[in-house]
Amino acid sequence: MSQAERACYIDCAIEELIGLRQINERSKSGECMVNAEGTDNVREKYERELRELRQDLGCTPERLMASEGLLQALRERASHQNRDGSLSYCVAELRKIGSELSDEEEKEALLVALGFENKHQGGNLTARRESYQAELASEKRWAHVRTLQHREDRAIKTLALLLADDPLRGVQVLPGPHIVRDFRDVDHHPDLQTLTWSSIYHISASGVIYRQDIRRTVRALTPDARPLVFDAHQYLAESRRGVLEFHADYGCRVVAHQEADSGAVVETFEIYKQLRPEDAPYSLGYHVLVNSDKPSEPIVRWKPDPPFSLSAEFTLIFHPQLTPVRAWWFATRNSEAAQIEPKENEGRHLELLDDGCYVHRLFDGEQLEPNLHRGIAWVWPVRVYTDSI
């Protein structure tokens, strides 16, 4: 597969995942409820409607019809995915979003409360909770009704937050041949600006980037900045589910995980503070584990969010049994140019330290514009390619 084909493939894979389409004319004209009312008001409206929706029979098509805010948000998602936006589709979509919440206890409690679990049906919320409590007791996971309500409320807040900051709205995934980071359309300024970004790539003796540690600092661009950070990844050597695992390290928690059959992943993190523009930069960290035995493509890169970033740092740690032949840094608009080895007199080759096990590049000293990919590329020993055939 050529590099151009790889770039095209990853575009299709992520599009499959998040149903990326052009925003409809109604949203562009400013009629979108989120743009008109403001995110905080919309989020609160979603929370109220979700709390009401869990009562009585739960989320049925008839009851969802009365939840005007939720129904509009779900129909907008349907429009972005070229779906019909019927009531049955919207119910199924709400269930799908709820099932993608990362906290298992909160997710279970919410799905039961909304009536999405067939084994815990009932004509009212109390009956569903009691059925769920009996199951928990049989598994020695006892939970008081107030504990269940607390879990439901937490899940409702997360779900409302995700709907209010829907990644289907105005998003473009930035493609790449190995691991793709940080997606946002350059015409859509995110609420949180990434000021600094750094990543350490751990590479095995077989050429697999088996772990990536990511650290970033963010600041708020607006007074009501939404506390969500998104990250999109794809490991092209494997086209299957279960290749990538995200884990929060500090300053954030995983609130949603979306994955395509191709292995493309969109992860949503929530930071622990509602930032304002006058606040100091906020630091968060997380890591990605790669469950694969396939050697990676010899390139890593990152493209800053708009409006700009201040620094991007790349650290590659190779196994002593497999080190690169040569490595260089790049700042280009496309992945094809990045993988073309520069001439020696260009001064872009990097020193291979620690017998080739350590390669590093820091991009700073200027505002890093969002229209350039920056990163490191290298040449594998020939045996990497022959062994993988």
Q: How far apart are CA 317 and CA 353, in angstroms?
A: 10
> Is 15 a residue whose pLDDT tops 90?
no
Q: What one-character DSSP code corresponds to residue 139? A: T
What average pLDDT does the segment 223-247 reach?
87
Pair of tokens at residue 362 = 């820091």
Across-strand partners of 265?
233, 259
Point out the least confidently predicted range of 27-41, 86-100, 140-154, 333-347. 27-41
Express each pLDDT in 254-268 by its tens digit: 988 888 888 888 888
What average pLDDT does the segment 57-81 reach?
87
Query: Domain 3-17+171-387 falls in which CATH fold?
Result: Immunoglobulin-like (2.60.40)
> Is 273 a residue whose pLDDT tops 80?
yes
Q: How far apart are CA 225 and CA 208, in angstroms?
A: 37
What average pLDDT does the segment 22-48 reach?
54
3-state secondary structure of 280: coil
What average pLDDT does the segment 171-190 reach?
35
The whole model's pTM is what? 0.65
pLDDT score recorded for residue 184: 34
Express each pLDDT in 350-381 by its tens digit: 999 999 999 999 999 777 888 788 999 999 99
pLDDT score recorded for residue 386: 61
Pair of tokens at residue 103 = 């906290």
pLDDT score recorded for residue 230: 85
CB contact at 8 A, 286 and 246: yes
pLDDT score recorded for residue 189: 44
Q: How far apart are CA 236 and CA 258, in angstroms?
A: 17
Q: Where in the chain is the domain with CATH 2.60.40?
A: 3-17+171-387
Other CB atoms within 10 A of residue 204 CB: 18
Q: How far apart are CA 248 and CA 194, in angstroms?
A: 17
> Is 98 a residue whose pLDDT tops 80?
yes
* pLDDT range class, residue 24, cuts 50, 70, 90: very low
Express each pLDDT in 209-225 by its tens digit: 999 999 999 999 888 88
Q: Any idea what the Cα angle at residue 3 is, between residues 21 and 373, rounded to 5°?
A: 70
Query: What distances in angstroms separate CA 382 from CA 59, 135, 322, 324, one per listed residue?
Result: 58, 56, 11, 10
Q: Among 190, 244, 247, which Cα is nearest to 213's?
A: 247
pLDDT score recorded for residue 178: 35
pLDDT score recorded for residue 385: 62
Burial of 85 (0-12, 13-18, 19+ CB in 10 A): middle
pLDDT score recorded for residue 222: 86
Express each pLDDT in 298-338 by its tens digit: 999 998 877 889 999 999 999 999 999 999 999 998 877 88
> Is 69 a residue whose pLDDT tops 70?
yes
